[in-house]
Amino acid sequence: MTSSPLAEKVPKPLKELTQSFTESVKATGIPDAIFSHEHESEAHKMWRSHANHSGDSSQPHPVPGIQSSQATGVIYITNRAQAAGFGPGVEGWANCGQGAPETGLIPGAAPKPSTLDFGEYGDDIHEYAPTAGFKPLREAIADYYNREFRQDKSMKYGPENVCVVPGGRGGLSRIAAVLGDINLGFSVPVYSAYEQMLSAFSRFVPIPTQTEAKNGYTLTAEEIRKEILGRGLSAFLLSNPNNPTGRQIHGQELADLVKVGRDTECSMILDEFYSWYQHTGELGKAVSAARYVEDPNEDPIILIDGLTKNWRCPGWRVCWVVGPSELVSALSAAGSFLDGGASHPMQCLAIEMLKPERVEADRLALQRHFRMKRNHVLERLEKMGLSIANPPDSTFYIWVDLKSLPAPLTSGMVFAEEALKEKVIVVPGIFFDVNPSRRRNILHSPCESYSELALVPRKSCICVTCSTMTDRSPSLPLRQSDFRLALHSKSLTWVWMASKG
């Protein structure tokens, strides 16, 4: 497919637009729009006004005995987009908010199964599956880990080390349900749904550790060891590869991390949902801590993965937790009262997805496809002057620093609201600063000046939207009441070329 000629236009460097913006602000005599508190920002106040976003649990729910749950950041911003007219089949929108693994056929991938012969499995397929999962699927998952990561190991994973769960959040919820009265460490920024999971279960104390741009948004094994020993952690939750930064721990550092868990007797809970999305290095490889586990039943290493991202089947809701057999027994018990288990027919169909030849073809196709998309967006960002200091080496997200933009676009929340006026959806960075108590002034968040851009599925749609927006110019002369929107729209025109080009 050839891209639109308009989509190939190279915008002015961002610093030129910023300088123009600054001169216009000085001419109006209006002070720079830099907030000192979230109460000064309409975008932030709007978010706080939604159910259970205030941090004040004293207000009663309209239904007796009920307390509202806070929506995840992606759901919140999608709801805001729907209020602005976004919806299925509505033309002109670019959804760079909710990341998607592209469920359709991509070049080189094997076609997904289109039928399931129920008769092959007999009447039992209509029964509940065991809460630990359908045994043939558990065997196929164990075989996958042994084949891909443990061929040189004498001790292998077996079906007793696998618990099938109804989705990744179902797996995380089961793990949270079996955690005791402990201190649980985790790093931020991290997947926004962790906040709800960490809030819903009150037996453990979640303790965050902030990663920094200068360190590539990763923690070393030694830093995690210090956190474990210094804070008395019994478990550490890590998104690896990380959503939203796209960074990961791999190689010797990952081996050292596994050793830290073993030496300190701290359970390492590793969310590995993006383990196939490798944007650098040899094609066809995946990253998993399973490679460095010595004894699957003794090492306190807990892995979460599934068909959602790597196999590009989020609607199947078939995922798994891999770890010591005693953990699997506890997770199975939790599943009996939490969720009842994953769909029996879909577990049967999932066995087909784990066949070695399909895994090899699908992973290779996925890496080629998403490397292309990632490189394309980074190139456009660079041409705009928005260079990414820590480009993602995994996932399908880009963690964008907004500090080079004119205020108040330096706020991810304001940035997202202004983007909606341009029919573009992005996720404010603060949603990845997991903060279960939700009490602090969110402008103090180290993620406030960031935004997450997802590599959206349909490039043809992106190019069309880009062409439309690059032709638009703001209305002048400016009135004091609207100068901010007009000038910011001009900046946004160029910013969105990165995600739409």
What's the whole-number mean pLDDT along residues 57-79?
A: 78
Average pLDDT over residues 264-274: 98
Q: Which of 177-181, 215-219, 289-293, 486-490 has the lowest mean pLDDT?
A: 486-490
pLDDT for position 498: 34
> Of 123-127, 294-298, 312-316, 459-463, which gets the smallest average pLDDT?
459-463
Give the tens place of pLDDT for each residue, 111-122: 999 999 999 999
Average pLDDT over residues 425-440: 78
According to DSSP, residue 272 is labeled -
Are the CB atoms for 418 and 488 separated by under 8 Å? yes
Alpha helices, DSSP H only, in 316-432?
325-338, 344-353, 356-384, 412-421
CB 73 within 8 A of CB 192: yes
- How much is the pLDDT for 65? 84
Q: Please tell me the predicted confidence (pLDDT) of residue 204.
A: 92
119 against 499, higher pLDDT: 119
The pLDDT tens digits for 73-103 are 788 899 999 999 999 889 888 888 887 889 9
At 73 the pLDDT is 79
CB proximity list for 413: less than 8 A, separation 6 or greater: 41, 43, 44, 47, 428, 430, 442, 448
State the pLDDT at residue 60: 75
Query: Rounded to an integer, what distance in angstroms lies between the CA atom of residue 33 and that of residue 41?
Result: 10
Q: What is the pTM of this model?
A: 0.85
pLDDT of residue 442 exceeding 90:
no
Residue 215 has pLDDT above 90, yes or no: yes
Mean pLDDT, range 239-259, rounded to an integer: 96
Strand ranges of the sheet holding 319-322, from the earlier edge strand across to the other edge? 162-165, 319-322, 301-306, 267-271, 233-239, 183-188, 205-210
Torsion region of 79: left, alpha or beta (phi above 0 gives left; psi -120 to 50 gives alpha)? alpha
- The pLDDT, as a whole number, for residue 384 is 74
Whole-number pLDDT of residue 213: 92
- pLDDT beyond 80 at 173: yes
In this prediction, residue 385 carries a pLDDT of: 73
pLDDT at position 55, please?
55
pLDDT at 489: 35
Average pLDDT score over residue span 259-264: 98
Share of the chain above pLDDT 70, in %: 78
User: pLDDT averaged over the chain?
Assistant: 83
Question: According to the model, what pLDDT value does residue 455 have?
Answer: 87
Domains of the chain: which residue ranges? 5-60+67-98+402-500, 118-360
Burial label for 85, CB within 10 Å (0-12, 13-18, 19+), is exposed
Please determine, for residue 45, whether its predicted confidence score (pLDDT) is greater than 90: no
Residues in the chain: 501
199 close to 52: Cβ distance less than 8 angstroms = no
Least confident stretch, 180-189, 298-307, 444-453 = 444-453
pLDDT tens-digit series, residues 11-42: 444 455 445 544 544 454 434 456 666 666 77
Residue environment code for 136-162, b if the CB has 16+ CB neighbours within 10 A, otherwise e: ebbbbbbbbbbebbbeebeeebebbbb
pLDDT at 7 over 50: no
* pLDDT score for 405: 85
Query: What's the CATH architecture for 118-360?
Result: 3-Layer(aba) Sandwich (3.40)
Confidence of residue 52 (pLDDT cuts 50, 70, 90): low
Residue 486 has pLDDT above 60, yes or no: no
Q: How confident is the model at residue 312 (pLDDT cuts 50, 70, 90)?
A: very high
Q: Average pLDDT of 444-462?
A: 76
Q: What per-residue confidence (pLDDT) applies to 341?
A: 97
Q: Which of 45-54, 100-109, 205-214, 257-266 has the highest mean pLDDT?
A: 257-266
Q: What is the dihedral of CA 128, 321, 273, 183, to 10 degrees?
A: 130
